[in-house]
Structure 1
Protein backbone atom coordinates (compact mmCIF):
# COMPACT_ATOMS: atom_id res chain seq x y z
CA UNK A 1 0.00 0.00 0.00
CA UNK A 2 1.43 3.41 -0.98
CA UNK A 3 0.52 5.12 2.31
CA UNK A 4 2.93 2.78 4.17
CA UNK A 5 5.87 4.09 2.14
CA UNK A 6 5.79 7.57 3.65
CA UNK A 7 5.52 8.89 7.16
CA UNK A 8 3.76 12.18 7.69
CA UNK A 9 4.27 14.78 10.39
CA UNK A 10 2.71 18.22 10.68
CA UNK A 11 5.63 19.72 8.72
CA UNK A 12 6.98 16.97 6.49
CA UNK A 13 6.47 13.81 4.54
CA UNK A 14 9.45 11.47 4.61
CA UNK A 15 10.84 8.02 3.99
CA UNK A 16 14.23 7.87 5.70
CA UNK A 17 15.86 4.50 6.14
CA UNK A 18 19.38 3.81 7.37
CA UNK A 19 21.47 0.66 7.25
CA UNK A 20 23.91 0.90 10.16
CA UNK A 21 26.79 -1.39 11.11
CA UNK A 22 29.08 -1.12 14.11
CA UNK A 23 31.51 -3.39 15.94
CA UNK A 24 32.81 -4.07 19.42
CA UNK A 25 36.25 -2.67 20.20
CA UNK A 26 38.99 -4.64 18.38
CA UNK A 27 36.17 -6.49 16.58
CA UNK A 28 36.15 -9.05 19.36
CA UNK A 29 33.62 -11.90 19.29
CA UNK A 30 31.85 -10.83 22.47
CA UNK A 31 28.24 -10.54 21.28
CA UNK A 32 27.44 -14.15 22.26
CA UNK A 33 26.12 -16.19 25.20
CA UNK A 34 23.08 -14.07 25.95
CA UNK A 35 24.77 -10.73 25.34
CA UNK A 36 23.35 -10.79 21.80
CA UNK A 37 19.82 -11.39 23.05
CA UNK A 38 20.05 -8.64 25.66
CA UNK A 39 21.56 -6.26 23.09
CA UNK A 40 18.52 -6.75 20.84
CA UNK A 41 16.19 -6.03 23.76
CA UNK A 42 18.08 -2.86 24.64
CA UNK A 43 18.16 -1.63 21.05
CA UNK A 44 14.41 -2.22 20.70
CA UNK A 45 13.77 -0.32 23.94
CA UNK A 46 15.96 2.64 22.91
CA UNK A 47 14.40 2.73 19.43
CA UNK A 48 10.93 2.85 20.96
CA UNK A 49 12.05 5.66 23.28
CA UNK A 50 13.42 7.66 20.31
CA UNK A 51 10.37 6.79 18.14
CA UNK A 52 12.56 4.94 15.64
CA UNK A 53 11.27 1.88 13.82
CA UNK A 54 13.65 -1.06 13.61
CA UNK A 55 12.81 -2.86 10.39
CA UNK A 56 15.53 -5.50 10.60
CA UNK A 57 18.32 -6.33 13.01
CA UNK A 58 20.97 -9.03 13.22
CA UNK A 59 23.62 -9.35 15.91
CA UNK A 60 26.70 -11.27 14.82
CA UNK A 61 29.46 -12.25 17.29
CA UNK A 62 31.66 -9.34 16.16
CA UNK A 63 29.29 -6.76 14.64
CA UNK A 64 25.70 -5.54 14.35
CA UNK A 65 23.54 -4.84 11.30
CA UNK A 66 20.45 -2.75 11.86
CA UNK A 67 17.99 -1.23 9.39
CA UNK A 68 15.91 1.58 10.84
CA UNK A 69 13.36 4.17 9.74
CA UNK A 70 13.71 7.49 11.53
CA UNK A 71 12.26 10.98 11.74
CA UNK A 72 14.23 13.67 9.86
CA UNK A 73 14.76 15.68 13.06
CA UNK A 74 17.03 12.92 14.41
CA UNK A 75 20.47 12.98 12.83
CA UNK A 76 22.00 9.59 12.02
CA UNK A 77 25.01 10.39 14.21
CA UNK A 78 22.73 11.18 17.17
CA UNK A 79 20.82 7.91 16.69
CA UNK A 80 24.01 5.85 16.65
CA UNK A 81 25.39 7.76 19.63
CA UNK A 82 22.21 6.96 21.58
CA UNK A 83 22.23 3.27 20.60
CA UNK A 84 25.92 2.75 21.37
CA UNK A 85 26.04 4.78 24.59
CA UNK A 86 22.92 3.23 26.10
CA UNK A 87 23.77 -0.37 25.20
CA UNK A 88 27.39 -0.05 26.31
CA UNK A 89 26.46 1.24 29.75
CA UNK A 90 23.81 -1.41 30.42
CA UNK A 91 25.66 -4.38 28.91
CA UNK A 92 28.86 -3.60 30.79
CA UNK A 93 26.86 -3.44 34.06
CA UNK A 94 25.02 -6.68 33.41
CA UNK A 95 27.93 -8.65 31.88
CA UNK A 96 31.16 -7.94 33.82
CA UNK A 97 33.11 -10.11 31.35
CA UNK A 98 32.84 -7.20 28.88
CA UNK A 99 34.69 -4.91 31.30
CA UNK A 100 37.47 -7.47 31.65
CA UNK A 101 37.86 -8.08 27.92
CA UNK A 102 37.50 -4.54 26.53
CA UNK A 103 38.37 -1.01 27.66
CA UNK A 104 35.16 0.20 25.97
CA UNK A 105 32.45 -1.91 24.38
CA UNK A 106 32.14 -0.20 20.98
CA UNK A 107 34.58 1.23 18.48
CA UNK A 108 34.17 4.93 17.75
CA UNK A 109 33.47 4.22 14.09
CA UNK A 110 30.40 2.96 12.27
CA UNK A 111 29.11 2.42 8.75
CA UNK A 112 25.89 4.05 7.62
CA UNK A 113 24.09 4.16 4.31
CA UNK A 114 20.80 5.78 3.53
CA UNK A 115 18.28 3.42 2.04
CA UNK A 116 15.33 4.64 0.06
CA UNK A 117 12.70 3.60 -2.37
CA UNK A 118 14.20 5.65 -5.18
CA UNK A 119 17.75 5.08 -6.39
CA UNK A 120 20.43 7.74 -6.75
CA UNK A 121 20.34 7.47 -10.54
CA UNK A 122 16.58 8.16 -10.62
CA UNK A 123 17.01 11.24 -8.40
CA UNK A 124 19.86 12.55 -10.57
CA UNK A 125 17.82 12.03 -13.72
CA UNK A 126 14.76 13.73 -12.18
CA UNK A 127 16.82 16.80 -11.17
CA UNK A 128 18.48 16.98 -14.58
CA UNK A 129 15.07 16.83 -16.28
CA UNK A 130 13.90 19.86 -14.26
CA UNK A 131 16.13 22.10 -16.36
CA UNK A 132 14.16 21.12 -19.46
CA UNK A 133 10.76 22.02 -18.03
Structure 2
Protein backbone atom coordinates (compact mmCIF):
# COMPACT_ATOMS: atom_id res chain seq x y z
CA UNK A 1 0.00 0.00 0.00
CA UNK A 2 1.61 3.23 -1.09
CA UNK A 3 1.00 6.32 0.97
CA UNK A 4 -2.14 7.82 -0.53
CA UNK A 5 -3.65 10.86 1.07
CA UNK A 6 -7.32 11.01 0.19
CA UNK A 7 -9.53 14.03 0.60
CA UNK A 8 -13.15 14.75 1.29
CA UNK A 9 -14.90 17.99 2.22
CA UNK A 10 -13.09 19.17 5.33
CA UNK A 11 -10.67 16.24 5.64
CA UNK A 12 -7.44 14.82 4.29
CA UNK A 13 -6.58 11.32 5.47
CA UNK A 14 -4.43 8.25 4.98
CA UNK A 15 -6.21 5.58 6.97
CA UNK A 16 -6.17 1.82 6.69
CA UNK A 17 -7.56 -1.07 8.73
CA UNK A 18 -6.52 -4.71 8.78
CA UNK A 19 -9.69 -6.65 9.63
CA UNK A 20 -9.90 -10.40 10.34
CA UNK A 21 -13.04 -12.38 11.13
CA UNK A 22 -14.00 -16.06 11.30
CA UNK A 23 -17.03 -18.28 10.80
CA UNK A 24 -18.81 -19.44 13.96
CA UNK A 25 -16.80 -22.19 15.68
CA UNK A 26 -14.07 -21.43 13.12
CA UNK A 27 -15.61 -24.01 10.79
CA UNK A 28 -13.83 -24.31 7.42
CA UNK A 29 -16.86 -23.40 5.28
CA UNK A 30 -15.38 -20.64 3.09
CA UNK A 31 -14.25 -22.66 0.11
CA UNK A 32 -15.33 -23.11 -3.50
CA UNK A 33 -18.37 -21.15 -4.62
CA UNK A 34 -18.85 -19.68 -1.14
CA UNK A 35 -15.35 -18.16 -1.29
CA UNK A 36 -15.92 -16.70 -4.74
CA UNK A 37 -19.28 -15.21 -3.77
CA UNK A 38 -17.88 -13.87 -0.48
CA UNK A 39 -15.11 -12.03 -2.34
CA UNK A 40 -17.71 -10.51 -4.71
CA UNK A 41 -19.87 -9.38 -1.78
CA UNK A 42 -16.92 -7.81 0.07
CA UNK A 43 -15.97 -5.83 -3.04
CA UNK A 44 -19.61 -4.76 -3.53
CA UNK A 45 -19.90 -3.49 0.06
CA UNK A 46 -16.59 -1.62 -0.22
CA UNK A 47 -17.75 0.00 -3.49
CA UNK A 48 -21.06 0.99 -1.89
CA UNK A 49 -19.20 2.94 0.81
CA UNK A 50 -16.36 4.21 -1.36
CA UNK A 51 -13.79 2.17 0.58
CA UNK A 52 -10.65 0.92 -1.17
CA UNK A 53 -9.73 -2.74 -0.75
CA UNK A 54 -5.95 -3.07 -0.69
CA UNK A 55 -5.70 -6.81 -0.03
CA UNK A 56 -8.23 -9.58 0.55
CA UNK A 57 -7.61 -13.22 1.38
CA UNK A 58 -10.40 -15.68 2.10
CA UNK A 59 -9.13 -18.83 3.79
CA UNK A 60 -11.35 -21.81 4.64
CA UNK A 61 -11.74 -20.67 8.24
CA UNK A 62 -11.21 -16.88 8.21
CA UNK A 63 -11.19 -13.69 6.18
CA UNK A 64 -8.28 -11.25 6.20
CA UNK A 65 -8.88 -7.84 4.67
CA UNK A 66 -6.88 -4.64 4.32
CA UNK A 67 -9.21 -1.74 3.58
CA UNK A 68 -9.02 2.07 3.38
CA UNK A 69 -12.25 3.56 4.73
CA UNK A 70 -13.29 7.15 5.29
CA UNK A 71 -12.24 8.44 8.75
CA UNK A 72 -15.90 8.93 9.76
CA UNK A 73 -16.25 5.11 9.68
CA UNK A 74 -15.11 3.49 12.91
CA UNK A 75 -13.30 0.14 12.85
CA UNK A 76 -16.33 -1.57 14.40
CA UNK A 77 -18.64 -0.06 11.77
CA UNK A 78 -16.38 -1.26 8.94
CA UNK A 79 -16.10 -4.81 10.34
CA UNK A 80 -19.82 -5.07 11.04
CA UNK A 81 -20.78 -3.75 7.60
CA UNK A 82 -18.78 -6.52 5.94
CA UNK A 83 -19.92 -9.24 8.36
CA UNK A 84 -23.62 -8.38 8.34
CA UNK A 85 -23.93 -7.87 4.59
CA UNK A 86 -22.01 -11.02 3.66
CA UNK A 87 -23.77 -13.19 6.24
CA UNK A 88 -27.22 -12.16 5.05
CA UNK A 89 -26.44 -12.85 1.39
CA UNK A 90 -24.39 -16.04 1.83
CA UNK A 91 -26.95 -17.68 4.14
CA UNK A 92 -29.71 -16.83 1.66
CA UNK A 93 -27.77 -18.27 -1.28
CA UNK A 94 -26.17 -21.35 0.33
CA UNK A 95 -28.58 -23.53 2.33
CA UNK A 96 -25.76 -25.63 3.81
CA UNK A 97 -24.51 -22.58 5.72
CA UNK A 98 -27.90 -22.23 7.43
CA UNK A 99 -28.01 -25.90 8.36
CA UNK A 100 -24.39 -26.16 9.59
CA UNK A 101 -24.17 -22.96 11.64
CA UNK A 102 -26.60 -21.00 13.84
CA UNK A 103 -24.97 -17.80 12.51
CA UNK A 104 -22.33 -17.51 9.82
CA UNK A 105 -19.79 -15.32 11.63
CA UNK A 106 -18.54 -15.42 15.19
CA UNK A 107 -19.34 -12.26 17.13
CA UNK A 108 -15.69 -11.30 17.43
CA UNK A 109 -13.22 -9.82 14.97
CA UNK A 110 -9.73 -8.36 14.94
CA UNK A 111 -8.99 -4.83 13.69
CA UNK A 112 -5.67 -3.02 13.60
CA UNK A 113 -4.95 0.33 12.10
CA UNK A 114 -2.28 0.27 9.47
CA UNK A 115 0.45 2.50 10.77
CA UNK A 116 1.86 0.73 13.83
CA UNK A 117 3.23 -1.65 11.23
CA UNK A 118 3.73 -0.54 7.68
CA UNK A 119 0.98 -1.00 5.14
CA UNK A 120 3.41 -3.08 3.06
CA UNK A 121 3.87 -5.47 5.99
CA UNK A 122 0.11 -5.99 6.31
CA UNK A 123 -0.28 -6.49 2.56
CA UNK A 124 2.63 -8.97 2.47
CA UNK A 125 1.13 -10.84 5.46
CA UNK A 126 -2.24 -11.20 3.74
CA UNK A 127 -0.79 -12.18 0.37
CA UNK A 128 1.56 -14.85 1.82
CA UNK A 129 -0.82 -16.59 4.24
CA UNK A 130 -1.00 -19.74 2.16
CA UNK A 131 2.79 -20.10 2.37
CA UNK A 132 2.70 -19.99 6.20
CA UNK A 133 -0.51 -21.92 6.89
CA UNK A 134 -0.12 -25.61 7.74
CA UNK A 135 -2.17 -28.01 5.61
CA UNK A 136 -5.74 -28.20 6.85
CA UNK A 137 -6.03 -24.55 7.94
CA UNK A 138 -4.38 -22.40 10.50
CA UNK A 139 -4.85 -19.40 12.72
CA UNK A 140 -5.09 -15.78 11.64
TM-score by length of 1: 0.83
Tell me how far apart the structure 2 counterparts of residues 52 and 76 of structure 1 sit (CA, whole Å).
12
Are 1:86 and 2:80 an aligned pair?
Answer: no
Alignment of 1:117-128 (within 5 A): none
The answer for the alignment partner of 2:65 in structure 1 is 66
Distance of 1:12 and 1:50 partners within structure 2: 17
2:75 aligns with 76
Question: The residue matched to 2:89 in structure 1 has which SS?
Answer: helix
| Equivalent position of 1:37 in the other structure | 36
1:31-68 alpha-carbon deviations (Å, 9 max, x no partner)? 01210000000000000001111010000000000000
SS of the equivalent of 1:65 reads: strand
SS class of match (1:81): helix
* Distance in 2 between residues matched to 1:106 and 1:54, nearest whole Å: 20
Report deviation, 1:116.
2.6
| Structure 1 unaligned spans of 5+ | 120-133
Q: How many residues are aligned here?
A: 117
Unaligned runs of 5+ in 2: 119-140
What's the TM-score, normalizing by structure 2? 0.79
CA radius of gyration, larger in:
1
RMSD (Å) for aligned C-alpha atoms: 1.6
Contact 1:15 1:116 in 2 (8 A): no
Partner of 1:127: none
